[in-house]
């Protein structure tokens, strides 16, 4: 789709999975433009979590375009996802009452543990449903859902892939692509960082370094619960996409963190 705005902006697609991202050019100016993104973007821009929002426009097709400053930079590497500044930016999001209020006002939804479990079982293939390890872990998760007051839920990104972190040439870090944002237990976001980017042997050190003052047993148990749940969801996703090598890698991760699990103990440091 080639949009042409009345004031001379020309907008062309720049690729990506959604087909919603564009580059806008006008003479020497350049902007990053998305189609029909969440109005939550305005709050994220004000909090300097995402690049600055320049304008929002409704066009004749009925679509809404949002334009952000174009920043030269790059995505984070997998190794850089362990850096403290990643946790610091994510913690800013989790602790922001402004973002929480704004997401709720624009129709943000709550995501509870039972919702995530339901999404795992929905359409699950019979082979995965009967897999001994996956079946055992799923049953334990269902019987031991974390108890955390929804009034303490925070804005969670929901898709913390390293490609969604932008490091500008001026060394400023941003978190982009907020289409999966929801109000949820912040342990959900943190568990993704741990499971996908921190080696199992470094979990204790990583948690202690970043959350020493808040590293209660309950907090650890919540992260452990979400770690297992995220791995289940990843196994299901990789299976559906036919990525069986990656699927088996996730199953091995799940086996590793579950092998010493006794009874209903969800400690991470076994």
Active-site positions read 159
Q: Strands of 19-103 (E only): list them.
A: 21-26, 29-35, 53-58, 64-69, 73-75
Distances in whole angstroms, Cα of residue 52 to Cα of each of 46, 143, 181, 191? 7, 44, 18, 28
CA distance linking residue 245 with residue 100, whole number of Å: 38
3-state class of 202 per DSSP? helix
Contact (CB, 8 A) for 69 and 51 = yes
Q: Which of 270, 265, 237 is nearest to 123 (CA)?
A: 237
Q: In degrees rounded to 5, what are phi and psi of residue 200? A: -50, -40
Question: Token pair for residue 230?
Answer: 């995220």
Chain mean position to CA 180:
7
Burial of 198 (0-12, 13-18, 19+ CB in 10 A): middle
Q: Could you give the 3-state DSSP secondary structure of residue 181?
A: coil
């Amino acid at each position: 789709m080639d949009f042409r705005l009345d004031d001379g902006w020309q907008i062309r697609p720049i690729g990506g999975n959604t087909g919603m991202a564009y580059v806008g050019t006008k003479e020497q100016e350049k902007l990053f433009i998305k189609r029909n993104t969440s109005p939550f973007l305005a709050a994220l821009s004000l909090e300097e979590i995402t690049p600055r929002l320049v304008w929002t426009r409704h066009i004749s097709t009925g679509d809404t375009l949002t334009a952000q400053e174009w920043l030269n930079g790059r995505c984070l590497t997998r190794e850089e996802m362990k850096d403290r500044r990643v946790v610091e930016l994510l913690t800013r999001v989790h602790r922001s009452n402004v973002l929480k209020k704004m997401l709720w006002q624009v129709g943000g939804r709550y995501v509870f543990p039972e919702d995530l479990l339901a999404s795992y079982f929905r359409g699950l293939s019979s082979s995965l449903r009967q897999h001994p390890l996956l079946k055992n872990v799923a049953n334990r998760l269902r019987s031991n859902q974390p108890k955390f007051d929804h009034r303490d839920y925070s804005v969670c990104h929901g898709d913390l892939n390293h490609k969604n972190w932008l490091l500008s040439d001026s060394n400023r870090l941003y978190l982009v692509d907020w289409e999966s944002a929801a109000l949820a237990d912040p342990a959900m976001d943190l568990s993704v960082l741990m499971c996908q980017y921190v080696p199992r042997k470094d979990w204790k050190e990583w948690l202690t370094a970043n959350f020493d003052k808040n590293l209660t047993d309950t907090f650890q148990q919540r992260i452990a619960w979400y770690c297992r749940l995220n791995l289940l969801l990843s196994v299901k996703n990789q299976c559906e996409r036919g990525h069986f090598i990656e699927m088996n890698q996730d199953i091995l991760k799940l086996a590793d963190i579950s092998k010493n699990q006794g009874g209903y103990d969800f400690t991470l440091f076994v």
